[in-house]
Structure 1
């Protein structure tokens, strides 16, 4: 059924639609493709809802979530929904995300914590946490295929890589030498100001600024983070007594992280062929 759905969604043959109906149909297909691109993230966060805090069959919740994440990733590879090259990129997201989690939850920083017990916790961080970052990469990879994404006026790769690295480093260094988030955001704004993403909701090309895509993706990740903290999967210090919404400033942090993730995906061989870098 999923293969049939993908075949239908990637069928770009012209459709005969009335002018009044076209915007609605394209919006519907865009929503379906976006939901399909969130397959990994959707299944993973569904498990966050379903798995009780006490765990299942005597297995701690963190360990159950780690096993589920592995099963989802293995199934997507087996079903050829992702290639080995894409899985390697997703693995990189897992590593950089887990390293950031270890730093942020350390006793000297304590930005947030994972209060529950689990066998699959390393340095106080459950191993499933890296999959939350990998889910972002999986979404971008799936959306690239389903929406037939093409990038125009992408900045030179060395410059894009430099800003991505600085964004990642700032997540660590702002605890010691100040937060340069907005300076980096300004640099990214300059780099990607002319960059346009071309996509096909149905059978015709549409386009929007790539920066808007970064901001919108960051917003939905921020919403997912609110869900995760509400379910008690992890908690910020101000949420230990009673839950409160994650501060809106996290939206900007996630948007910057999306830029870093996008840069890694854009360097995949089959993706790079669809990225236009002006001379």
Structure 2
């Protein structure tokens, strides 16, 4: 649960914000000034800012999901360019636009590219193993994997690096990075090895709870500094990705074997997979944005 609300004024120049984020904060300052001293009004303003900034952090993922749904309903069957190729070119154009307009920094882009590589490697293996499949169309592909699939993993990376910056994430009792890196390697390896040996996901899930169980995440919305258990944050983001996965499979971006004869909601067991993949994702991000304690005095570096 959220705990320990503290209202403080953001420090001038302390946050690296884009023009959109500055305008959101300016709007919040104006609304708070209308009813000074009202705690209920302050909570409402903070809630609106939270929703706006979360939506802003999801910009790339939301735009990509919109493209998938639009292609599902409106892309012409008679088009000379295959739908998967059109999606790849559109996703690439979206990524270039975000960089050109400085909606995404070069530093953030490095993480996104790393997510592309990690995700594509998994896609190549999983499609070959029959875990899921894509429509066999287009030329912009590697094996059975269309290149737009890497952008879906990139969307997760884009969201994570943006929330680290936008919400000024800080951590109490964050585990050493070498510990989290070893855990992430084990989780990533299990996505491959469970096809040949026993699936260790439940052991890995227990390890995640043991490693992160005491960690508390602090984040700033506008003037409010809130905190919640990091495991809860992982669970909420994993659930959100699961909802997006259902929309993507409904759009025909890919299909699981059980969906080939007719689409249905992706099983809830996939939540565990997304939860574990979240750990890999977060660990990748922490090597670009080292986790810092709430007071900002240092970082977890070992």
- Residue number in structure 1 paired with 2:11: none
Structure 1 234/208 Cα, relative in aligned 2: closer, same or farther at 3 Å? same
Q: Distance in 1 between matches of 2:142 and 2:21?
A: 37
Check whether the contact 1:10–1:147 (CA below 8 A) recurs between aligned residues. Answer: no
1:7 matched to 2:15: no
Structure 1 unaligned runs (5+)? Answer: none
Instruction: Give 1:77-156 correspondences, 5 Å limit.
Output: 77-106=99-128, 109-156=129-176
> Pick from 27, 52, 59: which aligns with 1:39?
59
1:272 matched to 2:272: no
The superposition leaves residues 175-201 of structure 1 with CA deviations (integer Å, 9 ceiling, x where unpaired) of 110111111111111111111111112
Q: Distance in 2 between matches of 1:53 and 1:68?
A: 13
Q: Distance in 2 between matches of 1:274 and 1:55?
A: 51
Q: Distance in 2 between matches of 1:5 and 1:33?
A: 9
- Residue number in structure 2 paired with 1:61: 83
Check whether the contact 1:226–1:246 (CA below 8 A) recurs between aligned residues. Answer: yes
- Residue number in structure 2 paired with 1:262: 282
1:233 matched to 2:253: yes
1:71 matched to 2:86: no
Instruction: Give 1:202-221 correspondences, 5 Å limit.
Output: 202-221=222-241
Cα RMSD, aligned residues only: 2.1
User: Displacement, 1:141?
Assistant: 1.0
* 3-state SS of paired residue (1:21): helix
Moved more, 67-76 or 167-176: 67-76
* 3-state SS of paired residue (2:194): helix
* 3-state SS of paired residue (1:154): coil
1:29 matched to 2:49: yes
1:177 matched to 2:197: yes
Moved more, 220-229 or 55-64: 55-64
Q: Distance in 2 between matches of 1:37 and 1:17?
A: 29
* 3-state SS of paired residue (2:232): helix
- Residue number in structure 2 paired with 1:198: 218
How many aligned residue pairs are there?
274
Structure 1 203/141 Cα, relative in aligned 2: closer, same or farther at 3 Å? same
Structure 1 26/55 Cα, relative in aligned 2: closer, same or farther at 3 Å? farther
TM-score (norm 2): 0.85
Q: Larger Rg: 1 or 2?
A: 2
Check whether the contact 1:10–1:146 (CA below 8 A) recurs between aligned residues. Answer: no
Give the structure, 1 or 2, with the largest relative contact order (CA under 8 Å, sep 6 or more): 2
The superposition leaves residues 69-113 of structure 1 with CA deviations (integer Å, 9 ceiling, x where unpaired) of 11111111122222222212111100110111111110xx20111
- Residue number in structure 1 paired with 2:12: none
Check whether the contact 2:291–2:300 (CA below 8 A) recurs between aligned residues. Answer: no
Check whether the contact 1:152–1:277 (CA below 8 A) recurs between aligned residues. Answer: no
Structure 1 126/201 Cα, relative in aligned 2: closer, same or farther at 3 Å? same
Moved more, 55-64 or 253-262: 55-64
Moved more, 204-213 or 55-64: 55-64
